[in-house]
Amino acid sequence: MTDQNTFTRREFVSTGLVLVSTITSVPAFLKNSAVVLAAPAGGAGPGNRPGVPEERILVVVQLSGGNDGLNAVVPFGMPEYYRARPALSVKDNTVLKLDATQGIGLNPALADFKSMLDDGQAAIIQGVGYPNPNRSHFASMDIWHTADPVRGSARGEGWLGRGLDLVAVDKQGHAQAEACVCIGNSAPLATQGARVKPVTFERADAFRWAGGDLHPALTSAYDRLNRTPLEREVPLHDQSQVPFVLRTALDAQVASDRIRAAVAKGPATPFPRSGLADQLKTVAAMIRAELPTRVYYVALGGFDTHANQAGRQDGLLSQLGAALKAFYAELAALGQEQRVLTMCFSEFGRRVEQNASQGTDHGTAGPMFLAGPMVRPGLHGAHPSLERTQLDGGDLKYHTDFRCVYAAILDQWLKADSKAVLGSAFKPAEVLKGTS
Amino acid sequence: MPVNTSLAPLKSSSFGYLQAQHLLARAGFGGTPAQIQALVAMGLEQAVDSLVNYDKVDASQLAAAQADPDLLRPATQEEKLAYAKAKQADDQEAFAQLRAGRVMRENQDRQQMRGLVHWWFSRMVDTPRPLEEKLTLLWHGHFASNHRTVRDSFLMYQQNALLREHAAGNFAQLVYGIIRDPAMLRFLDNNSNRKSKPNENLARELMELFTLGEGNYSEDDIKQGARALTGYSFEDNDFVFHRRQHDSQAKQIFGQSGDFAGEDFVRLILAKPACSEFVAFKLYKHFVADVTDPRRLPPAAAVVVRKLAEELRRGEYALRPVLTTLFRSQHFYDATITGNMIKSPAQLLAGSMRVLATPRRDLGVLTGAMQMMGQELFNPPSVKGWDGGETWINSSTLFVRQNLCVYLLTGKMSSRGKWKSDKSGYDATAMIDDAQHKSPQTLVDTLMSALLGAQRLPQHRDTLLDFVKERGVKDDTVLALLLLITAMPEYQLC
């Protein structure tokens, strides 16, 4: 029965049911030790801690709208910065200094992120972009999602989906259930694979059939209809889709049970109240419940600051820093922080010159933020020059191709061959520990 | 029992309620029991005729599309001048203004696209010619372009009109039309396919995805075909042939040589038997069964696809005769075929609205749900279109599918943890007449045969019967049963 090839549908279905009951009834320490025992010999993973699974997790935080990199990671040592932004610069006496020689610091709204940097728990990659930048939100977001600046969305698959296709699909071609979980109202292109399809929900408590709320009597009948083990006796022809819909219905109930049970437990440490903090709190709960998820995807929108940028962006940056700090405090309390890498990106940075409405327009390169104890902490790469002759039509030139960052995460973290995912070899950015 | 692969017509005496229901679900989006009974009364031949020869059906009551062709017109001479001036003077303020104007027009365009999505979806629900929409949707997924890339709603609308015009006409006309369709030319970069620097994108997809399928052409055919398509471009909303960018030298395609242009390239493709096989496969996948790979078909499907291809060749790609044969055929009504396809999101949603005759709900919510279920009209995920079949359903989309039916039936939806309610009520008891109300068996059987196709599990009928027996037949029992039936795994099939 352990041989995958002899796994019948009936056994598959009953395993699914057992799994549900395991989640709710087996004491956590037993389950955890089972996982450790099952780990491959010599597979010293990131934590290798008793009770913590080996599988590494990536959390992606999408900063939608185009985060103004220059007012987040501030080049206070460059006079051109203050000339380009007379009414929209972060004053050098308020900047949180990171590198005195380069003259780089952080917007004070990122104080929480600064403390993570100081603790060796975070990194910033400066000047990340790609050739021939596209300044449309949609087109540039597609490029980041597909890692394909030429064809954009043409393939309908994204870098994470393709990566998970390599590491979360068994020999029979079945994708690991819940390999990827997205919080939002639709699944990001990045997470679409040929095999792996993300589980997506806006709120975990709504990830279920809503009809039962109308009348409690409906729930038990619904459960009988949707948790039907497929009896071999049912006369079905070879091509029948009935087994497929029954299995999918059962899978959905199992996923819903697991996720809602996970999220129903409150966090071990306090989280601030914000949209992003709520999402990361949900992710932490799912990690705590040891879902088999390898990639979580969350988003924070509102970065498209064409007008009156200062207050708005500061609020978003402070939300980002506070949520990340709380997330890692929670993970540390759970003993899970070693296996969770977080990557934050935005579709583009913004123009060097402020505009006439105290805002900035769409630009090009920008910084990426990484968090987790496995990152090589601090600043990576040089800040792009702001000298007029060094700009590209008023925009920053990139130093690091974002696909080099993806390559590092794919090869060194998710253990998915980056060349196969990205279509060609990119030199992995040296941002994770244990690499040179 | 072996699968019946005959394309000969079904015996007319075998055309009963289940067969008519199957026909209406596949050649349309399904219908009420009364509409199904009307097809039974017509008999097989006429029932198929009424669906396939839809041009005889008056559809003038349908709302016309609102599509302004000039939202994203090219810059005028004055605008170009203003831009050049701003550039020369390095006038940031003027630049910002021009950019803001552009952003505003793009927003208007996205808004117009949303309106067109609503328009098309409403048409699927309201049309008396359901096969017209079903075919237009097939070709939209086949000759796939998306607004996400094309970023011009009027061009997308124009393409939709092209696909609709020839939907049941002739496949050759669709291909000749698509190589001159501005949305497609932009989507596949043919506006940068020039003699001096050929771009192979359109030539490749034309053969791989639109006509022949992989393995039926060489890389060199792509290169030569791309040369034949050089200069096929567009300006504003219209096709333009740029003679100077066209490579009029001799080319060799599929071993034949000549100074081929785009139309010649298409003609050579259509002459290949592989093309008719590929189109037959697509028709089979859309109307008959969830097949995924033309080269790995189950044996019975392979036989039928070959026969359909022969008929396509005989009729020089005329579609109506092939569809008529198919919808009348014994194979189409075989027990392995009826009720055994996964509903696409459009089928699920438009179908539920037609079958249940639910009130018009918020179109924004409905088309938003289509997106969550993976089928955003005018925005197929890639040039491959939608994979369809089993890929429609997973843990996430199944709940969306089930909860959407809750919304259609009750007007209530859970959003951000709160129940929102829509004003229109729904009288579920209209689904039955008084006599059927009396016994739990008749009630359950009536509703199951209205809502479910041929694939049903007997134990699920028992579950519904137990539910009714335990609670007794009350005023809200019909609604409760509809909620449960639309949440049954079998409801995902048609």
Q: Region A107-121: what's the mean pLDDT?
A: 98
- Average of per-residue pLDDT across B198-221: 95
Cβ atoms within 10 Å, residue A1: 8
Q: Which two tokens mark B313?
A: 């060749």
pLDDT greater than 80 at residue B45: yes
Between the CA of residue A49 and those of A44, A46, A58, A295, B340, what are the distances in Å?
9, 9, 18, 21, 49
Residue B487 contacts A where some CB pair is shorter than 8 Å: yes
Partner residue facing A185 (CB), from B372, B394, B488: B372
| pLDDT mean across residues, chain B | 94
Contact assessment for residue A161 and residue A260, using Cβ atoms and an 8 Å cutoff: no
Closest by CA to A73, choosing from A65, A62, A81, is A81
**Burial class, B89, CB count within 10 angstroms (exposed 0-12 / middle 13-18 / buried 19+):** exposed
- Evaluate whether A10 touches A246 at the Cβ level (below 8 Å): no
Could A199 and B395 be called an inter-chain contact, meaning their C-beta atoms sit closer than 8 Å?
yes
pLDDT for res A50: 58
pTM of the model: 0.85
From the CA of B361, how many Å to the nearest CA of chain A?
17
Q: Are B20 and B10 in contact (CB under 8 A)?
A: no
Triad B142, B348, B144: Cα angle to 5°: 15
Average pLDDT in the A413-432 region? 96
Taking a C-beta distance cutoff of 8 angstroms, is the pair B150, B187 a contact? yes
Q: What integer pLDDT is reported at residue B103 of this predicted model?
A: 83
Look at residue B135 and give its three-state secondary structure. helix
Task: Report residue A52's pLDDT band, with 50, 70 and 90 as the boundaries.
Answer: low
Q: Among residues 130-149 of chain B, which lie with CB inside 8 Å of chain A? A: 146, 148-149
Higher per-residue confidence, B101 vs B347: B347
- Taking only residues 395 to 414 of chain B, the set having a beta carbon closer than 8 angstroms to any beta carbon of chain A reads 395-396, 398-399, 402-403, 406, 410, 412-414
Higher pLDDT, A14 or A205: A205
CB of A232 within 8 Å of a chain B CB? The answer is: no
Q: What is the pLDDT of residue A94?
A: 96
Read off the pLDDT of each residue in B123-146 and give the average, rounded to a whole number: 97
A129, β-bridge pairs: A401
Contacts for B104-113: CB closer than 8 Å, 24+ residues apart = B105/B71, B105/B72, B106/B72, B106/B151, B108/B71, B109/B71, B109/B72, B109/B151, B109/B152, B109/B153, B110/B153, B112/B66, B112/B67, B112/B68, B112/B71, B112/B153, B112/B154, B113/B147, B113/B153, B113/B156, B113/B378
Residue B169 is predicted with a pLDDT of 98
Lowest mean pLDDT among A23-27, A236-240, A418-422, B151-155: A23-27
Assign A436 a pLDDT band (cuts: 50, 70, 90): very low
Would you call B299 an interface residue with chain A, using a CB distance cutoff of 8 Å? no
Q: Which of residues 329-358 of A touch B (CB under 8 A)?
A: 353, 355-357
Q: Please answer whether residues A20 and A258 qualify as being in contact, where contact means their C-beta atoms are separated by less than 8 angstroms.
A: yes
pLDDT value for A152: 66
State the Cα angle at A417 between A411 and A420, rounded to 5°.
140
Per residue in B174-191, pLDDT (tens digit) is: 999 999 999 999 999 999
The pLDDT, as a whole number, for residue A67 is: 98
Lowest mean pLDDT, pick from A249-253, B240-244, B291-295, B433-437: B433-437
Mean pLDDT (chain A, rounded): 86
Confidence bin at A45 (pLDDT 50/70/90): very low
Alpha helices by DSSP H, listed for B288-336, are 299-314, 319-328
Beta carbons of B401 and B393 less than 8 angstroms apart: yes
What pLDDT score was predicted for residue B343? 98
Average pLDDT score over residue span B206-228: 96
Q: Is the pLDDT of residue A39 over 90?
A: no
Q: Which residues of B touch A179 (CB under 8 A)?
A: none
pLDDT band at B101 (very low <50, low <70, confident <90, very high): confident
Residue A32 has pLDDT above 50, yes or no: no
- Could you tell me which residue, A411 or A24, shows the higher pLDDT? A411
Short-list A337, A433, A424, CA closest to A150: A424
User: A with B: how many residue pairs have Cβ under 8 Å apart?
Assistant: 165
Measured in angstroms, the CA of B420 and the nearest CA of chain A are apart by 12
Instruction: Tell me the ipTM for this assembly.
Output: 0.93
Q: In this complex, is the C-beta atom of B371 within 8 Å of any C-beta atom belonging to chain A?
A: yes
> What is the per-residue pLDDT for B417?
61
Question: How many residues can be counted in chain A?
Answer: 436
Residue B235 at interface with chain A, using a CB cutoff of 8 Å: no
What pLDDT score was predicted for residue A153?
Answer: 61
Q: What local confidence, expressed as pLDDT, does residue A187 receive?
A: 85
pLDDT confidence bin for A44, thresholds 50/70/90: very low
The percentage of chain B sitting over the pLDDT mark of 70, rounded to a whole number, equals 99
Q: How do residues A346-404 score in pLDDT, each as one tens digit?
A: 999 999 999 888 899 899 999 999 999 999 999 999 999 999 889 988 899 999 999 99
